[in-house]
Amino acid sequence: MKRGKRYKLAAEKQSIEKVTLEDAVAFVKDNASAKFDESVEVHVRLNIDPKKGEQAVRGSVTLPHGTGKEVNVGVITEDKSDEAKKAGADVIGGQDLIDKIKAGNIPEIDVLVATPDMMPKLAPAARVLGPRGLMPSPKTDTVTPNVESAVESLKKGKSNFKNDNTGNIHQVIGKVSFDAKKITENYKAFMDVVNACKTEAHKGQLVASTSMCSTMGLSVKIK
């Protein structure tokens, strides 16, 4: 398969050199070679000690152009089903849905929202939902009385992020089919939120470095 000049250059130098955001986006788009619409990923290395809880970085961002992935949202509620339906929730239920989940019949969803009054009833299902990253939590705004706004944000591509145990954050910011402007704007929106997570517990710059790649492509470091 014929590779572009940017791809060959990155392969030779193993992505050691940092490039501008504009060049990074162009590189990722030009050299995505898979037969599917690859995701564009950003990997952020943080100046933190991941073993220290007070330095943990977590947050949420609604990218201006979404991630390009359709998000299936489930809602656990007894009295706000109409709000959930209006906002576009894919699966809606109360105790009946909880019973199905507890039995291992988990619907095809990417995220689950619950109203606060349903959490005590949903708690026994944590052993099923937790390992799948589906357990609602106030920390991710998925336990809320504002069902309509929560579902709307999630359907628009709201993403939750947190550092892993090596002090890095990994985030999808679009698809290679997006035009360069959309990828650039999504990147800037994401990085603005990450940088805003800096607290007194963080010394110096919060972000050590960032890199971008497509799902199957080489990574390129950004200045």
Please tell me whether residue 123 adopts helix, strand or coil conformation. helix
What is the pLDDT of the chain when averaged over all its residues?
A: 92
pTM of whole model > 0.85?
Answer: no
pLDDT in tens, 11-27: 554 455 789 999 999 99
Q: Are 64 and 181 in contact (CB under 8 A)?
A: no
**Domains observed in the chain:** 5-67+158-222 (3.30.190.20), 73-155 (3.40.50.790)
Q: What is the token pair recorded at 113?
A: 């929202």
- Which candidate, 177, 159, 150, places its Cα nearest to that of 64? 159
pLDDT in tens, 52-89: 999 999 998 999 999 999 999 999 999 999 999 999 99
Average pLDDT over residues 118-141: 94
